[in-house]
Amino acid sequence: MTVHGVHHVTLTVRDVATAEAAYRDVFGLDVLFREGTYDDEFGALPDGMNWDVAETAGVDPGMTFLGDDDVAIAVAEREGDDSDTDEAGVLDHVALHVDADVVDEIVERARERDWDVDERETVAFLVDDDGIEWEVTTSDPPPATPFDELDVDP
């Protein structure tokens, strides 16, 4: 058995359409497809149908898949109330490998949305409106580390 990479990450959010717009804006991702419930049936929205049109037609938003050739992120409606996010097992963060020349753009767009931003050497940590932490890093995927080695005396 071989694991080739992350297929996708699913994030639960308060509002699918709002989170979709934020992730498209900050990370420059495209909508791959949208899914929702219509007449008690769950399925894909027609190509090109946005959430405003879908909701007006009576579709209950369920999920959006965002991505490009290298990454896929599913944004799903959070069930229950916001206290659910305080329970164990909640996603810690999502790390995206990016080119060095786009880190500043991503950080700027995140700040425009009033997301918390913590910039470090080759990495920035962003916390979105749903409390999800995003790491954008220029370092190679593990096992390499983007940080300098700690000077620890054994």
Q: What is the mean pLDDT of the chain?
A: 82
Using the 8-state DSSP alphabet, how is residue 39 labeled?
Answer: T
Q: What is the CATH number of domain 9-79+91-137?
A: 3.10.180.10
- The pLDDT tens digits of the residues spanning 13-58 come to 889 999 999 999 999 999 998 888 888 888 888 888 899 999 999 9
- The pLDDT tens digits of the residues spanning 68-107 come to 888 888 888 877 655 555 554 457 688 888 888 888 999 9
- pTM here? 0.72
Using the 8-state DSSP alphabet, how is residue 84 labeled?
Answer: G
d(CA 100, CA 39): 46
d(CA 30, CA 6): 18
What is the pLDDT, as a whole number, of residue 89? 45
For residues 14 and 76, the answer to whether their CB atoms sit within 8 Å is: no
Domain residue ranges in the chain: 9-79+91-137
Token pair 């090109």 in the structure block, residue: 48
Mean pLDDT of 130-137: 88
